[in-house]
Amino acid sequence: MDLPLSAGGRPALAATAVPPHIRADLLARAGNPLAPVSGYVYDPAVAAERVRALRAALPGWAKICYAVKANTYRPLLAAMAPHLDGFEVSSAAEADLARGVSPTALLVSSGPGKTMPTLNRLLHNNIGVVNVESRLELARLNQAAGLAGRRVAVTIRVNPKQVEVAGSLTMGGAATVFGLPEDEVPAALAAAAALPNLDVVGFHVHAVCQNMDAAAHAAYVRWCLEWSAATAAEHGVELRAVGVGGGIGVPFEGGPEFDTMELCELLGAMAPPSGVDVIFEPGRWCVTDAGWYAAEVVDVKHAYGTWFAVLRGGINHFQLPTSWDIRHPFAVLPVETWPVDWPRPEAVDVPVTVVGELCTPEDTLARDFQVSRVRAGDLVVFPMAGSYGYEFAMPHFLGHPPAERRVVRGQAS
C-alpha cells in the first residue's frame, strides 16, 4: 500500500513547468548559503486575468466576491479588485484588509462562531451582507447592529439535507458546523423577523470545496436559486440575495481544468428572480496558479531504500499537500553554484521524497516522485501554490524563519 502523498514513481515536473520570469528570479537569488531561497513568489497578473475572464463570461446577475481566506497577500487582492464585485471575509482581519484594498467594494462575511468583537469590526468596515450561521448569532448580530446604529442585511446559511455535487470537502448534506440544517430554517426566519436591526435578504449555501464538474456545479447553483425562491415565498421573505459559495476546483495533481466556460454557458440559461443578486465566492480557483513555493535543498540523504531531499522550509511554510493528502508535483531547478568546499550530495534517476526542516516525520511535502537529478543547493519549486499556502501553514513550530513572500511580474503584468 502506498504511503500518504506517494506518487509511486510518477515523474517530477520539468524545470520548464516554471514560467521563465519566475525561474529567472529564483535562480538569480540562489547560491547564497547565508540567505537560502525559501518562500513564495506571486505574479498578480495571473490572478487578475483569471477573475477578469470569469467576470466577462458570467451572466450579469452574478456577483463575484473573492474568498480572502485563500490568499491574503495584498498585491494579489489589489490586482483582482478592479474585476471583482467584492470580497468574502471570514474574520475581522480579513475585513480590515479587504476594506483597505477597496473602500467601496461589497463585503460578505461567513464563518461560524462570530464574536461580538468580530461583528463590531465587520460593522465598522461597513459589511454588506452577513451570512448568519446560528440562532444565537442572529441575536448577537442584532445587538451589535443596534450598538452601531444601523440595520444589517443578513442571509441565513443553510446546510441542505442533500447535495448533488461532489468535492474534496463536503459542508452540506452532512453533520458539519456550518450553517443551519434545512429543517431549522423556518424557525430561524421567524426569530430574525422579530429582531429590529436585521434585514433578512435571502440565503447562503456553500456546500462543497474543490468540485471539478462544471455541469454538476451549474445544477447545484440552479438548486440554490429554486430552493431559495420557494422558501422565501413560503415564509414572506423579500428575496434579494442568494449566496452560492465557492467550490470551483483546481487540478493540483494534474488532469483537466474545471471548465469555467461550460459553467458560464449553463448559468447563462438560468433566470434568477428579478432583483436578486447571486453571489459567487471563488477563492482557490482565482489565485492557485498565481503562486509558486520554492525552497533550497539543504541536504540529500538515503535511508533504507528511500532518497530524501531536505528543504529549507517544509510544512511550516507549505502545509497544504500534507493536510489534504495531495500528491503535489514539483520541479527541480538546477543551481550550478556550489560556493563551498564540502561534498555535494545528489540523487540521480530515482524516486525522491521531499521533506522539510521540522523535527517531525509529518514534515513531508511529496513522496516518491521520479527525478533525473537533485543536489544540495538546487531549488525545488511547487507550482499551483497560490492558494492555502502561506496562510495555511504552521509557521511557529520550532521557530524557523518564516516563508518570504514577493511579487515577480511577467511581461503581461
Instruction: Report d(CA 355, CA 367) in Å as an integer.
Output: 8
Average pLDDT over residues 99-115: 96
C-alpha cell at 117: 468583537
Arithmetic mean of pLDDT, 261-283: 95
Residue whose cell numbers read 467550490: 247
**Model confidence pLDDT, tens digit, residues 332-391:** 999 999 999 999 999 999 999 999 999 999 999 999 999 999 999 999 999 999 999 999
pLDDT score, position 207: 75
Q: What is each CA distance from 390 to 36, 79, 258, 325, 361, in whole angstroms?
A: 18, 18, 24, 17, 20
The C-alpha cell that represents 253 in the structure block: 495533481
Please check whether residue 319 is in contact with residue 358, taking contact to mean a CB–CB distance below 8 angstroms.
no
Q: In which band, very low, low, confident or very high, does the pLDDT at 130 lie, cut at 50, 70 and 90?
A: very high
User: What percentage of the chain reaches a pLDDT higher than 70?
Assistant: 96
Q: What pLDDT, on the 0 to 100 scale, is given for residue 167? A: 45
Q: What is the pTM of this model?
A: 0.94
Nearest to 244 by CA among 282, 275, 283, 205: 205
pLDDT at position 169:
47
pLDDT digits (tens, 9 = 90+) for 83-97: 999 999 999 999 999
Q: Chain-wide mean pLDDT for the chain? A: 94
**332, 371 in Cβ contact below 8 A?**
yes
Grid cell for residue 336: 550550478
pLDDT, position 170:
53
Tell me what pLDDT residue 179 has. 86
The pLDDT, as a whole number, for residue 412 is 57
DSSP letter at 211 equals B
Q: What cell numbers appear for 53 in the block?
A: 475572464
pLDDT class for 173, splitting at 50, 70, 90? low
Q: How confident is the model over 202-214, as pLDDT tens digits?
A: 999 987 778 899 9
d(CA 223, CA 202): 14
Residue where the block lists cell 548559503: 33
- Note the pLDDT of residue 164: 64
CA distance 192 to 198: 7
Whether the Cβ atoms of residue 258 and residue 282 lie closer than 8 Å to each other: no
CA pair distance 396, 222, nearest whole angstrom: 43
Lowest mean per-residue pLDDT among 76-85, 167-176, 185-194:
167-176
In this prediction, residue 155 carries a pLDDT of 98
At 192, phi and psi to the nearest 5?
-65, -35
